[in-house]
Structure 1
Amino acid sequence: MVEVTDKAAAELKSLLEEQDKQDHALRIFIAGMSCCGVQYGMSLENEISEEHDLVVEDKGLKIVMNKDDADGLSEAKIDYVDGPSGKGFIIDNNNGGGCNSSSCGGGCC
C-alpha cells in the first residue's frame, strides 16, 4: 500500500518531535486535479475516524487516509526532497496518472 522512504520517515519523525506532535498521524489525501493530473495533500492529524479512515503504518509512522481515497493512493510513495528548487515532502503515485507527483513543474505536462 503506501510506502514512506527512509529519508521522508526521518524528516517526518523530526518534524513531529519538533512540533511536539508525536501522537499525530500523517494524513494524505487526493486534493483535486491540475494540468498534470491528480494532486495530493498532506496534514498532521490526531483525530482518526474508524468509520471513514484507513490507517497504515510504515517505518514507525502512522499514515491515515479516507477509505474513499485508498484505491487512488494504493501505490503512493511519500518522499522528502531537498534540492535547488526547494525542499519538502512529495507524494509520488504511479496509480494516479499525470506526472505522478504532488507538484507540477519541471516539464511534467
Structure 2
Amino acid sequence: MVLTITDQAKLQIQEMMEQESEDVRLRFGVKGGGCSGLSYALGFDEATSNDDHLEVINEIPVSINKEDISIIEGTTIDFKQNMMGGGFTIDNPNAIVSCGCGSSFKAEEHEGTPENC
C-alpha cells in the first residue's frame, strides 16, 4: 500500500464522492510549486492512464501517478475537525522540509520548483 487513508478521511472522501459521478476515483499526487518546491494534489478524476497506479485504500478507489510513488510512499491522509472547521492533513515521511502552510514540501531527492511566498 502506497499510502494510508484514515477512517475520518475515508468518511469525508466518501461524502464528497457522493457529489461526483459514479466512476470517480480519488487522485492523489504531487506537483511543482509552493513555498518549498512541491505541493500536494488531491482531487477526483474519472480518467486513468497506463502511468497510474490504481489501488483501493480503506474502501476508497485511488489513482496515483507512478512517478509520484517514491515521493509519497508511506503518506497518511487524515481529516481533522475543530472549532474553526475541518480539513485534510497530510503526513509524509519523505518530506524533509515543509512550509508553514502545511501544503508545500521538499523531498530529499525531489526539490520541485519553489515559488516566492
Q: TM-score range by the shorter chain?
A: 0.7 to 0.9
Tell me how far 1:34 sits from its aligned partner.
3.3
Cα distance in structure 2, aligned partners of 1:64 and 1:78: 14
Which consecutive residues of structure 2, in runs of 5 or more, have no partner in the other structure? 106-117
Pairs within 5 Å for 1:56-95? 56-84=55-83, 86-95=85-94
Pick 1 or 2: higher relative contact order, CA cutoff 8 A, min separation 6. Answer: 2
Deviates more, 1:8-17 or 1:93-102: 93-102
Q: What residue in structure 2 maps to residue 25 of structure 1?
A: 25
Cα distance in structure 1, aligned partners of 2:8 and 2:33: 27
Cα distance in structure 1, aligned partners of 2:30 and 2:7: 23
Whether the aligned pair in 2 keeps the contact of 1:81 and 1:90 (CA below 8 Å) is yes
Provide closer, same or farther for how the CA distance between residues 7 and 93 of structure 1 changes in structure 2, counting only shifts above 3 A.
Answer: same
After TM superposition, the score normalised by the length of structure 2 is: 0.73
Provide closer, same or farther for how the CA distance between residues 23 and 94 of structure 1 changes in structure 2, counting only shifts above 3 A.
Answer: same
Q: What residue in structure 2 maps to residue 44 of structure 1?
A: 44
2:98 is equivalent to residue 99 of structure 1: yes
Tell me how far 1:21 sits from its aligned partner.
3.0
Tell me how far 1:3 sits from its aligned partner.
0.4
After TM superposition, the score normalised by the length of structure 1 is: 0.78
Counting matched residue pairs gives 102
Whether the aligned pair in 1 keeps the contact of 2:29 and 2:64 (CA below 8 Å) is yes
